Amino acid sequence: MDSSNDEAVDIIITNVVATFRTRCHLNLRTIALEGINVIYKPEVGKVLMKLRKPRITASIWSSGKIICTGATSEDEAKLGARRLARCLQKLGFKVRFSAFKVVNVLAVCSMPFSIHLVDFTKKNRPIASYEPELHPAATYRIKNIKATVQVFSTGSLTITGPNVQNVATAVEQVYPLLFECRKPLCK
Amino acid sequence: IMRCPGCGSSNIVDDDLYCQAQLVCADCGSVTFLHVTLQRKEILGGCCVLASCRQQRWPITVGTISCLLNGDPAAVGEVYQEMIKVLNIQAPTFNKSTLYVYLSFYRYKVSLGHVPEELAEDSKGLTKRAIALVELAADSWIVTGRQPLPIMMAAVYLAWQSLKPNAQRLKMSLEKFCKLAKVQKSKTAGTRITEMKGMLYKLGKEIPWYKEVLTPDNVVSLVGDILQHRFSLLRRALKSHELSLLEKCPTSSSSEVSDLKSPSEESNPQTQELTQNWGKRVLFAPPCVVNAKRKRAERPPLHVTGDEEISDSEIESYIRTPQEARDFAMMQEKLFTSNNESS
């Protein structure tokens, strides 16, 4: 983390979503029959396959498009995707691992102070919005890095973005704004 | 051909990996709002009403609009937020002035004429006290991030009880009060009442002239005094709290949350508990921090590069042997036919 903050905050990545393609048609019934840890969903035209290590779940379409979720780092996602591709190869499909891309990263983070949400929203409109009737957190959307930060009054944050770097940048950007609105704990 | 408004790609897939099905662009990952149902159009109308009311400081809630449209509050919220963003307008949410207007609409029918005299309360006085209670609750973390209506209900109920704290009123349950006032009881209001009483107890404890034993249950009779002297009571409560902390662990300081832990402090189990849960170190903290849920067991991250060699044996563990596959197919067929026979 950048040393622009006085204290480091731990960003914990809880989910990485990635996609890739096999460049060949996949027979879902074969996968469901010959693969272990596979759930067939004919009503939506896909198959779910789970791997143990790394712990990921993949949605597999007959077009060869695959979405993997559950990894806790971009590298883990890539390894999981490659393992999946190898599984499918072993099942007899002419798989070519291609177009691998991390499309979404979800992370959590905790500020060492609590936050006055109404204040934060007022100071950062319209980028920030807060609707207590709908959700207990204020939402801060950073358009240029396509990241969304959910800010809870306890100082907890959840961040979603297209990759880990953007998530880290989002936290760096939002930290000073949150710091400005920190709420005295004793009051 | 559908095109993603984000990157222009025509690669849109149906993704229902999560509980809400949505169209996703496979190339840039953005979620695409391509179909507009009649329901959403109706919701949009409701959202226009909601935004206009808010701008006029009329306290209409999202819940009310959803009810009138027979729709899901989450769907209304979604459309509302998109509309606000697209139109670039500002519509303030609940704050003190809207609270006052809301409560002044005689929603709680407990004024003379609606109920017997001994249970009646003038709406102005009731509103004033309820708002004072909400403000006090806001200062002690009960309001932030919570739905506004249950808090108001709890405040009105406690205000009503405390304005004439006789046995009759103090014994009346929230349910009976709501029936009396002709409002629909909110279950969450019960929790807010408990939280508010807890907060009032912490302040009421500091009243020097109260000589009897105070509990969160009998604190309602002191609400008038607490509100009148709230600033000095708060100061006293903070001091008492600091003193009690110093008694527990002389080495910790209660003013900074982000203390650097020294080895000697770490070894003291009480200090450890205090630094881990800041809610226990301060007088008032959000209830979710004080009663922290157990942290989910974090998976240790795999230290991988993503380009490791993948062994055959590992992959084979995910594949059925030909015999297993045959057995599985046979079992499925048997299940299928037996289901058909039994139905």
* Res A96: pLDDT: 94
CA distance A34 to chain B (A): 5
- Whole-number average pLDDT of chain B: 81
User: Higher pLDDT residue, B107 or B333?
Assistant: B333
Model confidence band, residue B297 (pLDDT cutoffs 50, 70, 90): low
Q: Please give the biggest Cα pair distance in chain A.
A: 66
Task: List residues bridging with A102 in a β-sheet.
Answer: A18
Model confidence band, residue A5 (pLDDT cutoffs 50, 70, 90): very low
Amino acid at A179: F
Q: What is the CA radius of gyration of chain A?
A: 20
First vs last Cα of chain A: how many Å apart? 32
Determine, for residues B93 and A112 on separate chains, whether the beta-carbon distance falls below 8 Å. Answer: no
CA distance B19 to chain A (A): 13
Determine, for residues B307 and A78 on separate chains, whether the beta-carbon distance falls below 8 Å. Answer: yes
* Res B57: pLDDT: 79
* Res A87: pLDDT: 92
Count residue pairs from A and B with Cβ separation < 8 A.
Answer: 152
B61: chain A residues, CB-CB within 8 Å: 133
Assigned token pair, B343: 């139905």
Q: Does A123 touch chain B (CB under 8 A)?
A: no
For a pLDDT cut of 90, what percent of chain B falls above it? 29
Residue B40 burial by CB count (10 A; 0-12/13-18/19+): exposed, middle or buried? middle
B308: chain A residues, CB-CB within 8 Å: 79
How far is residue A105 CA from its own chain's centroid?
3
Residue-wise pLDDT tens digits, B14-49: 776 655 566 777 777 766 744 678 888 899 999 999
Determine, for residues A54 and B304 on separate chains, whether the beta-carbon distance falls below 8 Å. Answer: yes
A124: chain B residues, CB-CB within 8 Å: none
Determine, for residues B319 and A130 on separate chains, whether the beta-carbon distance falls below 8 Å. Answer: no
User: Higher pLDDT residue, B106 or B184?
Assistant: B184
* Residue of chain B nearest A155, judged by CA positions: B289
DSSP per residue, chain A: --TTSSS---EEEEEEEEEEE-SS---HHHHHHHBSSEEEEGGGTEEEEEETTTTEEEEEETTSEEEEEEESSHHHHHHHHHHHHHHHHHTT-----EEEEEEEEEEEEE-SSEE-HHHHHHHTTTTEE--TTT-SSEEEEETTTTEEEEE-TTSEEEEEESSHHHHHHHHHHHHHHHHHTEEPS--
Model confidence band, residue A184 (pLDDT cutoffs 50, 70, 90): low
Q: Is pLDDT of A114 > 50?
A: yes
Determine, for residues A35 and B13 on separate chains, whether the beta-carbon distance falls below 8 Å. Answer: no
For a pLDDT cut of 70, what percent of chain A falls above it? 94
* Res B20: pLDDT: 57
CA atoms within 13 A on the CB side of B32: 23
Query: How many C-beta atoms surround the C-beta of residue B274 within 10 A?
Result: 21
> What's the rounded Cα separation, in Å, for the pair A57 and A17?
10
> What's the rounded Cα separation, in Å, for the pair A87 and B278?
48
Contact at 8 Å (CB) between B102 and B95? Answer: no
* Res B95: pLDDT: 67
Query: How many C-beta atoms surround the C-beta of residue B326 within 10 A?
Result: 12
Q: Does B304 touch chain A (CB under 8 A)?
A: yes
> What's the rounded Cα separation, in Å, for the pair A43 and B340?
19
Contact at 8 Å (CB) between B142 and B199? Answer: yes
DSSP reduced 3-state for B149: helix
B63: chain A residues, CB-CB within 8 Å: 133
* Res A104: pLDDT: 95
Q: Does A75 touch chain B (CB under 8 A)?
A: yes
Closest CA to B218 of B243, B197, B241: B197
* Res B105: pLDDT: 57
- Which of A26-35, A110-119, B290-299: highest mean pLDDT? A26-35
* Res A164: pLDDT: 93
Contact at 8 Å (CB) between A157 and A110? Answer: yes
Read off the pLDDT of each residue in A54-77 and give the average, rounded to a whole number: 94
Q: Is pLDDT of B72 > 80?
A: yes
B33-37, B283-287, B288-292: which range is least confident on average?
B33-37
> What's the rounded Cα separation, in Å, for the pair B38 and B35?
10
Closest CA to B22 of B41, B39, B7, B35: B35
Assigned token pair, B321: 């042997």
Residue-wise pLDDT tens digits, B226-283: 999 999 999 999 999 989 888 877 655 544 433 444 444 444 445 444 445 666 778 8
Q: Is pLDDT of B289 > 90?
A: no
Q: Which residues of A80-109 are buried (b: 16+ CB within 10 A; e: fewer)?
A: bbbbbbbbbbbbebebebeebbbbbbbbeb
Model confidence band, residue B130 (pLDDT cutoffs 50, 70, 90): very high
Contact at 8 Å (CB) between B45 and B72? Answer: no
Read off the pLDDT of each residue in A81-108 and give the average, rounded to a whole number: 94
First vs last Cα of chain B: how many Å apart? 43
Task: List residues bridging with B25 in a β-sheet.
Answer: B12
For a pLDDT cut of 70, what percent of chain B falls above it? 81
CA atoms within 13 A on the CB side of B204: 22
> What's the rounded Cα separation, in Å, for the pair A172 and B307?
30
B28: chain A residues, CB-CB within 8 Å: 103, 162
Determine, for residues A132 and B146 on separate chains, whether the beta-carbon distance falls below 8 Å. Answer: yes
> What's the rounded Cα separation, in Å, for the pair B220 and A63?
67
> What's the rounded Cα separation, in Å, for the pair B165 and B113?
21
* Residue of chain B nearest A43, judged by CA positions: B16
Determine, for residues B320 and A51 on separate chains, whether the beta-carbon distance falls below 8 Å. Answer: no
CA atoms within 13 A on the CB side of B342: 6
Q: Does A137 touch chain B (CB under 8 A)?
A: yes
* Residue of chain B nearest A136, judged by CA positions: B145
B84: chain A residues, CB-CB within 8 Å: 126, 129
Whether cis (ω within 30° of 0) applies to the bond prior to A54 is yes
CA distance B306 to chain A (A): 4
Closest CA to B151 of B94, B71, B70, B91: B94
Contact at 8 Å (CB) between A78 and B4? Answer: no
> What's the rounded Cα separation, in Å, for the pair A73 and A13?
7
